[in-house]
A and B are shown apart, each in its own frame.
Chain A
Amino acid sequence: MSKAVIDALVQRLPEAVYDPYVGVGGDDCAFVRRERIVEVCRALKQDLGFDMAPYVTAVDYLGQTPRFEVVYECYSTKANARVRLRVKVGEGEELPSVTSVWRGANWFERYVFDMYGIPVTGHPDLRRLLMYPEFEGNPLRKDYPLRGRQPLVPEREIHDIFRGPGPATRD
């Protein structure tokens, strides 16, 4: 079934989807060009029924160019089919966000940004997800040391609490 999905994708967007292959355990996978990922995802969702938000993660293949790879694990509840899309992203290159296709991609992309430092363009709220804003570097990059300790950061000023109505002097 899902072989048909990959074939349909390749047929529809032949320049965007390349090197389809059957992975370990019969997973259907294909590579997608970085600039066209949103287009491919939209076709996947609208024409091929991949309605569930994918799991998005990244891998750092240090030493290879392009260095990173972002992986989209898509599932269609209608066809009970799965497709894995892999996007090669070079150091410093921007990854278009697929949050406009599936809202659920939001935090996964923040994770990719946080842990691998891949800038995601068109993301509604691109902030670090698990690490704190003052953290320097990206922990899951292969060149980030395992025991990379960072200094304590000073306590942030609380400016997001504003009090309710009361005497003007109280604030």
Chain B
Amino acid sequence: MAEERVPAADDLLAPLPTKKMVLNMGPSHPATHGVTKFLVELDGETVTDLKIDIGYLHRGFEKSCESSTWTQVFPYTDRLNYVSSIMNNVGYALAVEKLCKLEIPERAKYLRVVTSELHRICDHLTLVGAQGLELGAMTIVIFAVEARDLIWDRLTELCGARLTSNYARIGGVARDLPEGWIEKTLKTLDRTAEVRDEIDALLSRNRIFADRLRGVGAISRADALDYGFTGPCLRATGEPYDVRKAQPYLVYDRIDFDVPVGSNGDTLDRFLMRVEELRQSDRIVRQCLQQMAPGEIIVEDFRYALPPKPLVYGTIEGVMAHFKQIMEGIKVPAGEAYSYTEAANGELGFYLVSDGGGRPYKIGLRAPVWPMLTALPQMTKGALLADLVPVYDSINYIAGEVEQ
């Protein structure tokens, strides 16, 4: 038998024949937090290629929106990124207002920022907790969920729903703060800050955790831009782009906050960005609650906002305005606009086309994580199979918004 002679140093290793293996991960895999299918090509334990199959959660968001009125779209937007639903509400409302050239009351702007930032905290807490969970640190996710649920309780008091909270409206917000809500929220923020610092102390300087994530799934600044990264994942690579600073909307230009920027673009940096953004969102909410003055919460233009109920029940004008809006929808001027906000995972864009009728002609959704998922094969090339899960988790893929 003419066997090929292996080098002397490897004499003791059993020469096993190897060939590449294709592993189907998903569609229902616990680490995918939803339904996503990976086709992983493996050489031993090293990922050599990755194909991602998405679409299992496609609900026809754009098609459904095209057949409902502008206002009826709001509940659909809640279910895009269901961890931070108010951000989607606000993003969509701003897009419609851009098309209508509608200026909303000051208090409504503050309320939108407060609720958005509270939801940013929820979103980042979920991710930070899940990042621990993926690596076997079950404690972290329990901590994070505790704090998140406290915030969800505040939002329940405000909007009536725990998860798919629906707060923004075209022209303002749905309702004003209930009695004693601000004090309760400040206490909630204090508790959240404790939990956040505890998680930070447990993980960020934890040698095992940091070593596990450092250098894993790294992407360079130029590549990240080329793929269209936004949000914490882009900032982790050193690019300081944040819509709240670059194109301030609502009241972000009046608020003092910092944008954390990383340097390595790896999973650890993406994790640290989120922990730091938790602190910044806390600052933003506290400043807003201080700066906020009592006032109107929705425009008094009955072409866009529903009249208050006493008017609806008491006057013919009120009842007609209500009827026209519910039955025909808001008449948004014909045209097209693209509006973008900084959601928890990056730039959330809405491209709207109106034909002047009561229903959207087209709603294009730029989900923040969409481009990042495209880059996952590159980020995990040459990594171990075990790294795929934390890297995938760190881009915070939310199937609800990408698969629409």
| B337 adjacent to A27 (CB under 8 Å) | yes
A27 to B239, CA, bound (A): 23
| B58 adjacent to A130 (CB under 8 Å) | yes
| A54 adjacent to B349 (CB under 8 Å) | no
Within 8 A of A (CB), among B329-380: 335-339, 349, 351, 353, 361-362, 364, 366, 370-371, 373-375
A14 to B163, CA, bound (A): 51
Nearest A-chain residue to B245, judged by Cβ = A80
A80 to B240, CA, bound (A): 11
**A18 on the interface (CB 8 Å rule)?**
no
Q: What is the total number of residues of chain B having a CB less than 8 Å from a CB of chain A?
A: 50
Nearest B-chain residue to A142, judged by Cβ = B66
The count of A-to-B residue pairs whose CB atoms sit within 8 angstroms is 116
**B278 on the interface (CB 8 Å rule)?**
no
Within 8 A of A (CB), among B220-275: 222, 225-230, 239, 241, 246-247
- From A24, A27, A51, A71, B226 is in contact (CB under 8 Å) with A51
Q: CB-CB contacts of A67-102 with B at 8 A, as 1s and 0s?
A: 000010100010010101000000000000000001
| B55 adjacent to A24 (CB under 8 Å) | no
**B17 on the interface (CB 8 Å rule)?**
yes
| B63 adjacent to A146 (CB under 8 Å) | yes
- Taking CB atoms, residues of chain B closer than 8 Å to A106 are 374
- From B63, B227, B339, B362, A53 is in contact (CB under 8 Å) with B227
| A104 adjacent to B371 (CB under 8 Å) | yes
The answer to whether A104 and B351 touch (CB under 8 A), given A130-B404, A165-B18, is no
Within 8 A of A (CB), among B38-83: 39, 54-55, 58, 60, 62-64, 67
- Taking CB atoms, residues of chain A closer than 8 Å to B222 are 51
| A59 adjacent to B371 (CB under 8 Å) | no
- From A73, A128, A140, A160, B351 is in contact (CB under 8 Å) with A73
| A165 adjacent to B19 (CB under 8 Å) | yes
**B283 on the interface (CB 8 Å rule)?**
no
| A107 adjacent to B22 (CB under 8 Å) | no
A144 to B239, CA, bound (A): 42
Assign chain A's interface to a size class.
35 or more
- Taking CB atoms, residues of chain B closer than 8 Å to A146 are 63-64, 67
| B374 adjacent to A140 (CB under 8 Å) | no
- Taking CB atoms, residues of chain B closer than 8 Å to A108 are 370-371
Q: CB-CB contacts of B198-240 with A at 8 A, as 1s and 0s?
A: 0000000000000000000000001001111110000000010
- Taking CB atoms, residues of chain B closer than 8 Å to A139 are 60, 63
**A8 on the interface (CB 8 Å rule)?**
no
**A52 on the interface (CB 8 Å rule)?**
yes
- Taking CB atoms, residues of chain A closer than 8 Å to B24 are 158, 160-161
A52 to B347, CA, bound (A): 12
**B101 on the interface (CB 8 Å rule)?**
yes
A97 to B278, CA, bound (A): 39
| A73 adjacent to B338 (CB under 8 Å) | yes
| Nearest CB of A to B76, in Å | 14
| Nearest CB of B to A9, in Å | 18
Nearest B-chain residue to A106, judged by Cβ = B374
| Nearest CB of A to B24, in Å | 6
Q: A59-B364, A131-B58 are in contact. List 7 more A-B contacts (CB 8 A).
A: A24-B336, A59-B353, A71-B338, A77-B225, A106-B374, A131-B55, A132-B55
User: Which 3 residue pairs are nearest across A and B when measured between Cβ atoms?
Assistant: A53-B228, A104-B228, A130-B55
